[in-house]
Amino acid sequence: MFTGKRIVVTGGTGSLGTVLVRRLLSGAVGRPERITVFSRDEGKQHAMRLSYQHRSTATDEVIFNSFEELLRFHIGDVRDPAGLSAVLRDADVVFNAAALKQVPTCEYFPYEAVQTNVSGAENIVRVIRDNRLPVETVVGISTDKAAKPVNVMGMTKAIQERIFVRANLDCPDTRFVCARYGNVLASRGSVIPLFHAQIRHGGPVTITSPEMTRFLLSLEDAVDTILAAVAEGQPGETYIPRVPSARVDDLAAVLIGDRAIETIVTGIRPGEKLHEILVTEEEGHRTLARGDYYVIAPMLPELQAGVPDERLEREYSSSHDVMDRSELGELLRGNRLLIDDERAGELIV
């Protein structure tokens, strides 16, 4: 799929970007001509470079050799059109993973979120449009919080989605698609690393609300969703993974196990939702199932290929089909996230 392609990953040193780059380097989806990590954090770029330089075991051979030949690093910010022009001028595929994504941070600094999540997306579109760059595909990486947004992070991501969908009209030679997913297991800033730390310190484990539910997927599942959008997505479509969900208090209970650790309820944080929603009722009327994913057709009639025959017709919420504690334990065990596992927390990158 990516053989011979020149790929740019904005925000490529983040949790998702790191796993995406590793997958691209593995050769599993073709051998790109070049992968450029574009981000503003020189420390994370340096650490990422060193991590690949130190991989020399047989199992890492493909990634190690690919890194030596393919991976490049570029300091810059999606807020800066000039910097984007420099890195996008010969790109074939762009993954926009650059974001301000911490909900409380975005609440306290809303305009900072606007500049990265909204203006950053618009800058990508303008650079491609105004310079007539031959970019084939742009993938906007979004979040469940963009559906029925109640916080600044979700509001800015919802606008980002609309910017990328609309861009298909301005840049007809470039395909813009989106991938929207929920809570990623053990990603930086998520609840599992917090629970791990609290348990290791003897508690208490803090729960915002006993009724709260969350979708659960691994970083690899998130990457699969993004790659499916590239492989199959039509202009303006948004890909949604169909994944399990769980109550947060069950998540805490399974991680605690039989330890004598107290849990306390702290209340919902600013801008936090009780349940995650990946597809709203309005979107359900233009959402179809495609393989392991739901696909939302664009709202703009110019981009619609027709109303799907079999539509979702309802919202898709984490409050539906919630796993019990046994199922949740199996999921966490399969992802090596139970705290007794020797490799517990391995997905924290």
pLDDT score for 342: 43
Instruction: Give the active site residue among 5, 145, 148, 273.
Output: 145
Task: Concatenate the DSSP letters of all residues of 61-94 into one string.
Answer: HHHHHHHHHHEEEEE--TT-HHHHHHHHTT-SEE
Token digits of residue 114: 């606007």
Token digits of residue 174: 């470039």
- For residue 297, CA distances in Å to 5, 177, 234, 240 come to 27, 10, 9, 11
**Do the domain assignments include residue 268?**
no
Q: What DSSP character marks residue 297?
A: P
pLDDT one-digit tens code per residue, 43-102:
999 999 988 887 655 455 556 666 778 999 999 999 999 999 999 999 999 999 999 998
- For residue 172, CA distances in Å to 9, 304, 307 come to 22, 14, 22
**Do the domain assignments include residue 349?**
no
pLDDT score for 348: 37
133: CATH: 3.40.50.720
Bridge partners, residue 175, by sequence: 137
Longest CA pairwise span in the chain (Å): 62
Token digits of residue 108: 């306290």
**Do the domain assignments include residue 173?**
yes
Q: Tell me, what amino acid is at 119?
A: S
pLDDT score for 63: 62
| Distance (Å, whole) CA 159 – CA 25 | 31
Q: Which residue has the tokens 């959402």?
A: 287
**Do the domain assignments include residue 62?**
yes
| Distance (Å, whole) CA 27 – CA 143 | 27
Query: What is the pTM assigned to this prediction?
Result: 0.89
Q: How many residues does the chain have?
A: 349
pLDDT score for 346: 44
Cis geometry, peptide bond prior to residue 204 (ω within 30 degrees of 0)? yes
**Do the domain assignments include residue 340?**
no
Other C-beta atoms lying within 10 Å of the C-beta of residue 247: 22
When divided into structural domains, the chain yields a total of 1
pLDDT score for 334: 86
Domain containing 157 equals: 6-181+218-242+277-315
**Do the domain assignments include residue 83?**
yes
Q: What DSSP character marks residue 144?
A: G
pLDDT score for 56: 53
**Do the domain assignments include residue 96?**
yes
| Distance (Å, whole) CA 23 – CA 64 | 12
pLDDT one-digit tens code per residue, 318-334:
998 899 999 999 999 88
**Do the domain assignments include residue 289?**
yes
The residues of the chain scoring below 50 in pLDDT are 58, 342-349
| Distance (Å, whole) CA 160 – CA 140 | 8
Token digits of residue 207: 């729960």
Active site residue 148: no
| Distance (Å, whole) CA 36 – CA 105 | 28
